[in-house]
Amino acid sequence: MMESRQLFDQFGRRITYLRMSVTDRCNFRCTYCMPEGGLRELGRYELLTLEELARLGRIFVEEGIGKIRLTGGEPLLRHDLHILVRELHRLPGLRDLCLTTNGHLLAEQAEILARAGLKRVNVSLDSLDPEKFKRITRGGDLRRVWRGLDKAREVIPGPVKINVVASKGFNDDEVLDFARLTLDPGYHVRFIEPMPMSPHASWERGEVLSVIAIQRQITEAYGLEPVVEDMALAGPASRFRIPGAAGELGFIGAVTDEFCARCNRIRLTPDGKLRGCLMADGEIDFLKPMRSGVSDDGLREMLYQAMRVKPERHYINDLYFIRPLRTMSQIGG
Protein backbone atom coordinates (compact mmCIF):
# COMPACT_ATOMS: atom_id res chain seq x y z
CA MET A 1 0.00 0.00 0.00
CA MET A 2 1.29 3.44 -0.96
CA GLU A 3 1.92 5.82 1.93
CA SER A 4 -0.26 8.92 2.05
CA ARG A 5 1.53 11.95 0.65
CA GLN A 6 1.03 15.69 0.99
CA LEU A 7 -0.58 17.60 -1.86
CA PHE A 8 0.23 21.27 -2.54
CA ASP A 9 -0.99 23.71 -5.16
CA GLN A 10 1.15 26.23 -7.07
CA PHE A 11 0.77 28.78 -4.26
CA GLY A 12 2.02 26.45 -1.54
CA ARG A 13 -1.40 25.75 -0.04
CA ARG A 14 -1.74 22.21 1.28
CA ILE A 15 -4.80 20.55 -0.28
CA THR A 16 -6.48 18.05 2.05
CA TYR A 17 -10.21 18.37 1.32
CA LEU A 18 -12.18 16.94 -1.62
CA ARG A 19 -15.82 17.85 -2.22
CA MET A 20 -17.13 14.96 -4.31
CA SER A 21 -20.48 15.54 -6.05
CA VAL A 22 -22.34 12.32 -6.82
CA THR A 23 -25.32 13.72 -8.77
CA ASP A 24 -26.66 16.93 -10.29
CA ARG A 25 -30.28 15.97 -9.58
CA CYS A 26 -32.16 17.68 -6.75
CA ASN A 27 -35.68 17.41 -5.31
CA PHE A 28 -35.65 21.12 -4.33
CA ARG A 29 -35.48 24.21 -6.54
CA CYS A 30 -33.86 26.72 -4.18
CA THR A 31 -34.06 30.22 -5.59
CA TYR A 32 -30.32 30.93 -5.23
CA CYS A 33 -29.34 27.63 -6.86
CA MET A 34 -31.43 27.00 -9.98
CA PRO A 35 -34.41 28.24 -12.00
CA GLU A 36 -37.92 27.19 -11.03
CA GLY A 37 -38.24 24.84 -14.00
CA GLY A 38 -34.98 23.09 -13.15
CA LEU A 39 -32.12 22.31 -15.52
CA ARG A 40 -31.24 19.53 -17.94
CA GLU A 41 -30.09 16.59 -15.85
CA LEU A 42 -27.12 14.45 -16.73
CA GLY A 43 -27.88 11.12 -18.30
CA ARG A 44 -26.88 7.91 -16.58
CA TYR A 45 -23.75 7.46 -18.71
CA GLU A 46 -22.67 11.06 -18.20
CA LEU A 47 -22.32 10.51 -14.44
CA LEU A 48 -19.35 8.99 -12.69
CA THR A 49 -20.16 5.42 -11.71
CA LEU A 50 -19.80 4.08 -8.19
CA GLU A 51 -16.58 2.31 -9.22
CA GLU A 52 -15.16 5.47 -10.81
CA LEU A 53 -15.96 7.57 -7.74
CA ALA A 54 -14.38 4.99 -5.44
CA ARG A 55 -11.29 4.76 -7.66
CA LEU A 56 -10.75 8.51 -7.68
CA GLY A 57 -11.38 8.66 -3.94
CA ARG A 58 -8.69 6.03 -3.36
CA ILE A 59 -6.12 7.78 -5.57
CA PHE A 60 -6.81 11.21 -4.13
CA VAL A 61 -6.49 9.93 -0.55
CA GLU A 62 -3.21 8.21 -1.44
CA GLU A 63 -1.96 11.57 -2.71
CA GLY A 64 -2.85 13.51 0.44
CA ILE A 65 -6.60 14.10 0.68
CA GLY A 66 -7.72 13.47 4.27
CA LYS A 67 -11.33 14.63 4.12
CA ILE A 68 -14.09 13.86 1.61
CA ARG A 69 -17.49 15.53 1.62
CA LEU A 70 -20.21 13.96 -0.54
CA THR A 71 -22.45 16.55 -2.17
CA GLY A 72 -24.85 17.13 -5.08
CA GLY A 73 -27.41 18.13 -6.32
CA GLU A 74 -29.06 16.10 -3.61
CA PRO A 75 -26.73 13.15 -2.87
CA LEU A 76 -29.46 11.09 -1.17
CA LEU A 77 -31.18 10.73 -4.55
CA ARG A 78 -28.34 8.39 -5.53
CA HIS A 79 -29.48 4.87 -4.62
CA ASP A 80 -25.97 3.44 -4.22
CA LEU A 81 -24.67 6.20 -1.96
CA HIS A 82 -24.32 3.92 1.07
CA ILE A 83 -22.11 1.59 -0.97
CA LEU A 84 -19.84 4.48 -1.93
CA VAL A 85 -19.69 5.56 1.72
CA ARG A 86 -18.67 2.03 2.69
CA GLU A 87 -15.89 1.92 0.06
CA LEU A 88 -14.52 5.34 0.99
CA HIS A 89 -14.73 4.61 4.71
CA ARG A 90 -12.32 1.70 4.20
CA LEU A 91 -9.57 3.90 2.73
CA PRO A 92 -6.45 4.09 4.93
CA GLY A 93 -5.56 7.73 5.47
CA LEU A 94 -9.08 9.13 5.14
CA ARG A 95 -9.72 10.95 8.42
CA ASP A 96 -13.13 12.47 7.76
CA LEU A 97 -16.08 11.37 5.60
CA CYS A 98 -19.13 13.60 5.63
CA LEU A 99 -22.24 14.52 3.67
CA THR A 100 -24.14 17.68 2.74
CA THR A 101 -27.86 17.18 2.09
CA ASN A 102 -31.12 19.11 2.06
CA GLY A 103 -32.37 16.60 4.63
CA HIS A 104 -35.63 15.70 2.88
CA LEU A 105 -34.69 12.00 2.59
CA LEU A 106 -32.35 11.84 5.57
CA ALA A 107 -34.71 10.19 8.06
CA GLU A 108 -35.03 7.17 5.77
CA GLN A 109 -31.30 6.85 4.97
CA ALA A 110 -29.38 8.08 8.01
CA GLU A 111 -29.10 4.66 9.64
CA ILE A 112 -27.76 2.78 6.61
CA LEU A 113 -25.28 5.59 5.94
CA ALA A 114 -24.10 5.51 9.56
CA ARG A 115 -23.58 1.74 9.37
CA ALA A 116 -21.59 2.23 6.16
CA GLY A 117 -19.20 4.62 7.91
CA LEU A 118 -20.54 8.16 7.47
CA LYS A 119 -19.06 10.28 10.25
CA ARG A 120 -20.83 13.64 9.95
CA VAL A 121 -23.69 15.33 8.13
CA ASN A 122 -24.55 18.93 7.19
CA VAL A 123 -28.16 19.84 6.43
CA SER A 124 -29.03 22.92 4.37
CA LEU A 125 -31.81 24.81 6.15
CA ASP A 126 -32.43 28.48 5.37
CA SER A 127 -35.54 29.16 7.45
CA LEU A 128 -37.22 27.81 10.57
CA ASP A 129 -40.58 29.10 9.32
CA PRO A 130 -42.45 26.41 7.31
CA GLU A 131 -43.92 28.86 4.79
CA LYS A 132 -40.66 30.71 4.19
CA PHE A 133 -38.85 27.38 3.86
CA LYS A 134 -41.40 26.17 1.31
CA ARG A 135 -41.00 29.42 -0.62
CA ILE A 136 -37.21 29.44 -0.88
CA THR A 137 -37.01 25.71 -1.73
CA ARG A 138 -40.06 25.94 -4.01
CA GLY A 139 -41.93 23.11 -2.31
CA GLY A 140 -39.81 21.70 0.53
CA ASP A 141 -41.46 20.24 3.65
CA LEU A 142 -39.76 21.54 6.80
CA ARG A 143 -41.28 18.77 8.93
CA ARG A 144 -39.48 16.10 6.89
CA VAL A 145 -36.19 17.95 7.27
CA TRP A 146 -36.61 18.10 11.06
CA ARG A 147 -37.30 14.36 11.13
CA GLY A 148 -34.06 13.87 9.20
CA LEU A 149 -32.12 16.07 11.60
CA ASP A 150 -33.50 14.19 14.60
CA LYS A 151 -32.61 10.83 13.07
CA ALA A 152 -29.11 11.99 12.16
CA ARG A 153 -28.46 13.12 15.74
CA GLU A 154 -29.58 9.69 16.91
CA VAL A 155 -27.43 7.48 14.65
CA ILE A 156 -24.54 9.45 13.07
CA PRO A 157 -21.51 9.67 15.39
CA GLY A 158 -20.23 13.17 14.59
CA PRO A 159 -21.92 16.53 15.12
CA VAL A 160 -24.93 17.39 12.96
CA LYS A 161 -24.51 20.79 11.32
CA ILE A 162 -27.12 23.14 9.88
CA ASN A 163 -26.03 25.32 6.93
CA VAL A 164 -27.86 28.64 6.66
CA VAL A 165 -27.53 30.84 3.56
CA ALA A 166 -28.17 34.28 5.06
CA SER A 167 -29.99 36.95 3.03
CA LYS A 168 -31.28 40.41 3.88
CA GLY A 169 -35.04 40.63 3.89
CA PHE A 170 -35.52 36.86 3.98
CA ASN A 171 -34.03 35.23 7.06
CA ASP A 172 -32.10 38.05 8.74
CA ASP A 173 -34.81 38.09 11.42
CA GLU A 174 -34.02 34.45 12.28
CA VAL A 175 -30.32 34.80 13.12
CA LEU A 176 -30.78 34.49 16.89
CA ASP A 177 -33.30 31.66 16.46
CA PHE A 178 -30.68 29.68 14.56
CA ALA A 179 -27.99 30.59 17.09
CA ARG A 180 -30.15 29.23 19.91
CA LEU A 181 -30.14 25.81 18.24
CA THR A 182 -26.52 25.47 19.40
CA LEU A 183 -27.76 25.75 22.99
CA ASP A 184 -30.78 23.48 22.69
CA PRO A 185 -30.69 20.83 21.30
CA GLY A 186 -26.99 21.42 20.50
CA TYR A 187 -26.70 21.54 16.72
CA HIS A 188 -23.71 23.12 15.02
CA VAL A 189 -24.87 26.04 12.85
CA ARG A 190 -23.00 27.57 9.88
CA PHE A 191 -24.00 30.95 8.45
CA ILE A 192 -22.97 31.26 4.79
CA GLU A 193 -23.00 34.33 2.58
CA PRO A 194 -24.78 33.69 -0.75
CA MET A 195 -22.40 33.64 -3.71
CA PRO A 196 -22.96 34.81 -7.30
CA MET A 197 -23.29 31.50 -9.09
CA SER A 198 -24.56 30.97 -12.64
CA PRO A 199 -26.79 33.46 -14.50
CA HIS A 200 -29.73 31.14 -13.69
CA ALA A 201 -29.52 31.85 -9.94
CA SER A 202 -30.87 34.91 -8.16
CA TRP A 203 -28.16 37.03 -6.47
CA GLU A 204 -27.78 40.70 -5.69
CA ARG A 205 -24.82 42.09 -3.77
CA GLY A 206 -27.14 44.30 -1.73
CA GLU A 207 -28.99 41.20 -0.48
CA VAL A 208 -25.86 39.66 1.04
CA LEU A 209 -26.08 39.60 4.84
CA SER A 210 -22.45 39.75 5.91
CA VAL A 211 -21.20 37.20 8.40
CA ILE A 212 -19.54 40.08 10.24
CA ALA A 213 -22.98 41.58 10.93
CA ILE A 214 -24.36 38.19 11.94
CA GLN A 215 -21.44 37.54 14.30
CA ARG A 216 -21.85 40.99 15.85
CA GLN A 217 -25.57 40.39 16.46
CA ILE A 218 -24.96 37.04 18.18
CA THR A 219 -22.06 38.42 20.21
CA GLU A 220 -24.23 41.26 21.52
CA ALA A 221 -26.96 38.80 22.51
CA TYR A 222 -24.96 35.92 23.96
CA GLY A 223 -21.23 36.51 23.69
CA LEU A 224 -18.90 34.28 21.63
CA GLU A 225 -15.64 32.47 22.28
CA PRO A 226 -13.33 31.08 19.55
CA VAL A 227 -13.03 27.33 18.90
CA VAL A 228 -9.60 25.77 18.31
CA GLU A 229 -9.59 23.54 15.22
CA ASP A 230 -7.43 21.15 13.21
CA MET A 231 -6.30 23.49 10.42
CA ALA A 232 -5.16 20.62 8.17
CA LEU A 233 -8.76 19.47 7.61
CA ALA A 234 -10.56 22.72 8.39
CA GLY A 235 -13.32 24.04 6.18
CA PRO A 236 -13.73 27.74 5.36
CA ALA A 237 -15.71 28.63 8.50
CA SER A 238 -14.46 30.82 11.35
CA ARG A 239 -15.66 28.86 14.37
CA PHE A 240 -17.07 30.15 17.67
CA ARG A 241 -19.23 28.98 20.54
CA ILE A 242 -21.77 30.67 22.78
CA PRO A 243 -20.37 30.13 26.32
CA GLY A 244 -21.78 26.90 27.70
CA ALA A 245 -23.30 25.76 24.37
CA ALA A 246 -22.94 22.15 23.22
CA GLY A 247 -22.95 23.20 19.56
CA GLU A 248 -20.73 25.56 17.59
CA LEU A 249 -21.37 28.54 15.34
CA GLY A 250 -19.46 28.98 12.10
CA PHE A 251 -19.26 31.96 9.76
CA ILE A 252 -18.38 31.56 6.07
CA GLY A 253 -17.87 34.95 4.42
CA ALA A 254 -17.06 34.10 0.82
CA VAL A 255 -18.04 37.60 -0.37
CA THR A 256 -17.09 39.98 2.44
CA ASP A 257 -14.32 37.99 4.16
CA GLU A 258 -12.36 36.31 1.37
CA PHE A 259 -10.69 33.15 2.69
CA CYS A 260 -8.85 32.08 -0.47
CA ALA A 261 -5.40 32.35 1.10
CA ARG A 262 -6.20 29.38 3.35
CA CYS A 263 -8.15 27.35 0.77
CA ASN A 264 -7.42 23.64 1.17
CA ARG A 265 -10.04 22.08 -1.15
CA ILE A 266 -10.83 20.90 -4.64
CA ARG A 267 -14.15 19.83 -6.19
CA LEU A 268 -15.10 16.84 -8.30
CA THR A 269 -18.26 17.41 -10.35
CA PRO A 270 -20.77 14.58 -10.94
CA ASP A 271 -19.65 14.32 -14.57
CA GLY A 272 -16.02 13.82 -13.57
CA LYS A 273 -14.49 17.30 -13.89
CA LEU A 274 -12.01 18.43 -11.24
CA ARG A 275 -12.25 22.13 -10.31
CA GLY A 276 -9.75 24.05 -8.26
CA CYS A 277 -12.30 26.72 -7.31
CA LEU A 278 -16.09 26.87 -7.13
CA MET A 279 -16.11 30.28 -8.81
CA ALA A 280 -13.64 29.55 -11.64
CA ASP A 281 -14.64 27.62 -14.75
CA GLY A 282 -11.29 25.88 -15.25
CA GLU A 283 -11.82 22.10 -15.12
CA ILE A 284 -9.85 18.93 -15.85
CA ASP A 285 -11.87 16.02 -17.24
CA PHE A 286 -11.21 12.72 -15.44
CA LEU A 287 -14.22 10.81 -16.80
CA LYS A 288 -13.15 10.44 -20.45
CA PRO A 289 -9.58 9.31 -19.67
CA MET A 290 -10.87 6.74 -17.16
CA ARG A 291 -13.21 5.30 -19.76
CA SER A 292 -10.33 5.21 -22.23
CA GLY A 293 -8.20 3.05 -19.93
CA VAL A 294 -5.92 5.58 -18.22
CA SER A 295 -3.72 4.10 -15.47
CA ASP A 296 -3.74 5.13 -11.82
CA ASP A 297 -0.43 6.92 -12.40
CA GLY A 298 -2.02 8.79 -15.28
CA LEU A 299 -4.81 9.95 -12.96
CA ARG A 300 -2.24 11.04 -10.40
CA GLU A 301 -0.51 13.18 -13.02
CA MET A 302 -3.86 14.77 -13.88
CA LEU A 303 -4.34 15.58 -10.19
CA TYR A 304 -0.89 17.22 -10.08
CA GLN A 305 -1.87 19.19 -13.19
CA ALA A 306 -4.96 20.46 -11.34
CA MET A 307 -2.69 21.65 -8.52
CA ARG A 308 -0.60 23.61 -11.04
CA VAL A 309 -3.64 25.50 -12.37
CA LYS A 310 -5.71 25.99 -9.18
CA PRO A 311 -6.40 29.76 -9.07
CA GLU A 312 -5.10 31.98 -6.32
CA ARG A 313 -8.49 33.49 -5.48
CA HIS A 314 -12.13 33.68 -6.62
CA TYR A 315 -12.26 37.32 -7.85
CA ILE A 316 -15.91 37.83 -6.72
CA ASN A 317 -15.13 41.36 -5.59
CA ASP A 318 -13.27 42.40 -8.75
CA LEU A 319 -14.92 44.83 -11.16
CA TYR A 320 -14.88 42.44 -14.12
CA PHE A 321 -15.85 39.26 -12.28
CA ILE A 322 -17.83 36.85 -14.45
CA ARG A 323 -20.15 34.31 -12.85
CA PRO A 324 -19.41 30.60 -13.37
CA LEU A 325 -21.14 29.05 -16.37
CA ARG A 326 -22.39 26.11 -14.32
CA THR A 327 -24.81 26.15 -11.40
CA MET A 328 -24.11 24.92 -7.88
CA SER A 329 -26.09 21.73 -8.55
CA GLN A 330 -24.01 21.02 -11.66
CA ILE A 331 -20.70 21.64 -9.90
CA GLY A 332 -21.48 20.30 -6.44
CA GLY A 333 -22.40 22.20 -3.29
Please, which residues bridge with residue 284 across strands?
A: 274
pLDDT tens-digit map of 19-77: 999 999 999 998 878 778 888 899 999 999 999 999 999 999 999 999 999 999 999 99
**Distance between CA 24 and CA 326 in Å, rounded?**
11
Q: Count Cβ atoms below 10 Å from residue 196 Cβ, excluding itself.
A: 21
Quote the pLDDT of residue 17.
97
**How is the beta sheet containing 188-192 ordered, strand by strand?**
225-226, 238-241, 249-252, 188-192, 160-165, 120-124, 96-101, 67-71, 17-21, 265-268, 273-275, 283-285
- Residue 284: strand, helix, or coil: strand
315 and 321 in contact (C-beta within 8 Å)? yes
pLDDT tens-digit map of 258-313: 789 999 999 999 999 999 999 889 999 999 999 999 999 999 999 999 999 999 99
Q: What is the mean pLDDT of residues 161-179?
A: 95
Q: Phi/psi of residue 236, each to 5°?
A: -80, -5
| Dihedral angle of Cα 188, 263, 229, 173, to the nearest 10 degrees | -30
319 — pLDDT class (breaks 50, 70, 90): confident
Q: What's the burial of 81, exposed, middle or buried (CB within 10 Å: 0-12/13-18/19+)? A: buried
pLDDT tens-digit map of 118-154: 999 999 999 999 999 999 999 999 999 999 999 999 9
CATH number (3.40.50.280, 2.60.120.10, 3.40.50.300, 3.20.20.70) of 17-331 reads 3.20.20.70
pLDDT tens-digit map of 66-124: 999 999 999 999 999 999 999 999 999 999 999 999 999 999 999 999 999 999 999 99
Q: What is the mean pLDDT of residues 249-263?
A: 88
Secondary structure E strands in 89-208 = 96-101, 120-124, 160-165, 188-192
